[in-house]
Structure 1
């Protein structure tokens, strides 16, 4: 059990290091970016220097305070405006499927990375695992996997 878990962690860390992003994989949690990105798609996230971002780029970012109390982070939306205020770089963002821009001005330090490509709908099973039924099913399967040798062997 320890070796596959370690291998998965090693693969994730290698991917994070290679792509320059501490969050190299991101499951799209809503349809705010439809039709470009759909709920359940997995996107590959690449680290980026925020100064290189331009209007039209799709970025993953932490929602700035105080909006982060009401909007779960991180978010993936499109850059619709880039501005410098008092020497600091800010972005205005918007979901492709939303009627208006996000209410915040995103400081450059809130940017996690830029969207590289997607794997359509591969994240749906991962989204299921976050539900209460998915967690319960995962726990039962894990316990069966751990105790199966004892049950099979009759010990």
Structure 2
């Protein structure tokens, strides 16, 4: 993550945009009583394409009643940010089963969104192996 931020810091236009957006996201994230709880992926805007979302809360009130009249599903509200301006986005309500939960922190996901995918967090798989992000210049090479 630090290497990606250093790379962004060398790009004049991107550096200014990234630092401003990072500051906004850090402010939102630091407010613990109103912060996002979890990060996930949903299929959006169509099947086969995935978008990062931030879980806000469990749905309540009329929204929960209308979406889950049989009281069988957990309905959550998520925020789907736009890239590279994560201060705007979409508030969506969906069944929890329709979201793939991610282990990355909210801060790591925010960096990923703000950087338009250039800053990717490390991933530790179930066997404990650290997978670092690798830049692929030629997708056809092995």
Q: Same fold judged by TM-score > 0.5? A: no
With normalisation by structure 2, the TM-score equals: 0.39
